[in-house]
Chains A and B, each alone.
Chain A
């Protein structure tokens, strides 16, 4: 929508992306946990509010990646496709879209890895994710070193293999 030539679409979209991208995720999580119940008049629960916060927060980042991907395709490509008589929708589907997607896949994958790590922040609204559960166990058994090491290994294994996958993808498509 930021790409739109229509200001009434582009301006709110740009403001949304700018605001969300400048706020820390923890703040957004708090915000939704405390403000949404106030607005609605009844509590919504930690999971629901965290979910909404994550979706809205990450949407801003994905928007920016998608926008940058589309902007990375040269104007000349669009002109060349238009010159052969294609319509705007065809130009996007056949020419700009595929090239933009290729440019943004690595970034999208990276963002997914970041989201995965960021989920550990939900402890601030008293949700128990993997990380929080582990720290509870660590406290109970008095074995923090072991528990936190296990967590680190699990995060490392998942994130490392994910970023390896991105790398392999990039090599496969490096032309």
Chain B
């Protein structure tokens, strides 16, 4: 589904990704973790071409993302993305947020799009917030709207870039529950997160990144039982201690 092969990237002279290779198979949930500044967010934004990379290749469903001739909007339309800061459109209601790309990208008729949006917003527990604007919603509610917005495109895979990092602690779970339900439904997911509990419950594999490189690509059980690298051991000790 997603194949990342030998991807490197530098900002000026500072390398942010060093020869990263990884793959996410259909239906798989892969959690990407590591200390901040390790290149996790950059890597996940490379997958749908929001951030360009310097060398290597990324294929999504066989389509090469980095090629000049690639129709990036068409690729992105089939991959949902959820951002750390929600990025709902502030001038629109929750329902309009979810319907917008359905209408303008998938060319669904408004009635059809709104029906789908309503169904999805109900699924994330926000049936009563259709007409609310983003600033009338809590962080957790906003993030659930943004998950619905991504799902509305009937994506083949979902990318999550630290979806709970900007949330107050009491709202983290409502978002993780939605993500967990999605994973159980068989959605292909690549999730950058510090939520090790979520990784332990839901992930198939864990990628551990440090300083722009993927140090570990391990099945979940092995990663938590005994990480192969010292850096990962230190990281786990830190995030699991509280």
A residues in contact (CB < 8 Å) with B: 74, 76-77, 79-87, 90, 94-95, 98-99, 102, 175
Contact = CB atoms under 8 A, between A and B. Distances in A.
5 closest pairs, A vs B, by CB? A85-B77, A80-B87, A84-B101, A83-B81, A85-B105
B149 interface: yes
B150 A85 contact: no
17 contacts: A76-B85, A76-B87, A77-B87, A77-B89, A79-B45, A79-B50, A83-B76, A83-B79, A83-B81, A83-B83, A84-B101, A84-B149, A85-B74, A85-B76, A85-B101, A85-B153, A175-B133
B100 interface: yes
A81 B76 CA distance: 10
A86 B81 CA distance: 13
B100 A175 contact: no
B90 interface: yes
Contacts of A77: 87, 89
A79 B81 CA distance: 10
A85 B83 CA distance: 15
Contact of B50 (A82, A90, A94, A98): A82
A82 B87 contact: no
A95 B89 CA distance: 7
Interface string B96-109: 00001100110000
A38 B78 CA distance: 62
A82 B87 CA distance: 12
B34 to A, nearest CB: 21
B135 interface: yes
Given A79-B87, A82-B50, 15 more contacts: A77-B87, A80-B81, A80-B146, A81-B89, A82-B73, A82-B76, A83-B48, A83-B50, A83-B76, A84-B153, A85-B105, A87-B73, A90-B105, A94-B104, A175-B135
Contacts of A81: 89, 101
B65 to A, nearest CB: 13
A98 B91 contact: yes
A158 B71 CA distance: 53
A84 B105 contact: yes
Contacts of B81: 80, 83
- A83, A94, A98 — which one has the most chain B CB atoms within 10 A of its CB? A83
A74 B78 CA distance: 24
Given A76-B83, A90-B104, A175-B133, A84 B150 contact: yes
A91 to B, nearest CB: 10
A17 B91 CA distance: 30
A87 B77 CA distance: 10
Contacts of B45: 79
Contacts of B91: 98-99, 102
B101 A86 contact: yes
B90 A99 contact: yes
A98 B85 CA distance: 20
Interface in B150-190: 150, 153
Contacts of B85: 76
Contacts of B149: 84
A66 B22 CA distance: 43
Interface string B48-69: 1010000000000000000000
Contacts of B105: 84-86, 90
A74 B139 CA distance: 17
A99 B88 CA distance: 12
Interface string B15-45: 0000000000000000000000000000001
